[in-house]
Amino acid sequence: MENVTLNVSGMSCGHCVKAIEGSVGELTGVQKVSVDLENGKVNIEFDSNAVTLDQIKETIDDQGYDVA
């Protein structure tokens, strides 16, 4: 299991939190995802054998947010 914290910009409200936690959380291999709205950070715990970091980043991007 790996753990990464991404810097994500454009998250502004509770809907944004739900959009990201919902979409990333649905990915196979993602164990846990939590959004820190105030600091623009998303922490993800995932199994790198089941899902890649790139797939996670792409999922966040697809929701309309910029991943640094």
Q: List residues near its own copies by CB under 8 A.
A: 10, 12-16, 19, 64
Question: Per the structure block, which two tokens stand in for 20?
Answer: 């990201």
- From the list 42, 6, 19, the residue with the least C-alpha distance to 32 is 42
Query: For residue 1, how far is the Cα from the chain centroid?
Result: 15
Closer of 22 and 47 to its own copies (Cβ): 22
CB of 44 to its own copies, least distance (A): 21
CB of 25 to its own copies, least distance (A): 17
Return d(Cα 49, Cα 2) in angstroms, integer: 10
Closer of 2 and 22 to its own copies (Cβ): 22
CB of 34 to its own copies, least distance (A): 18
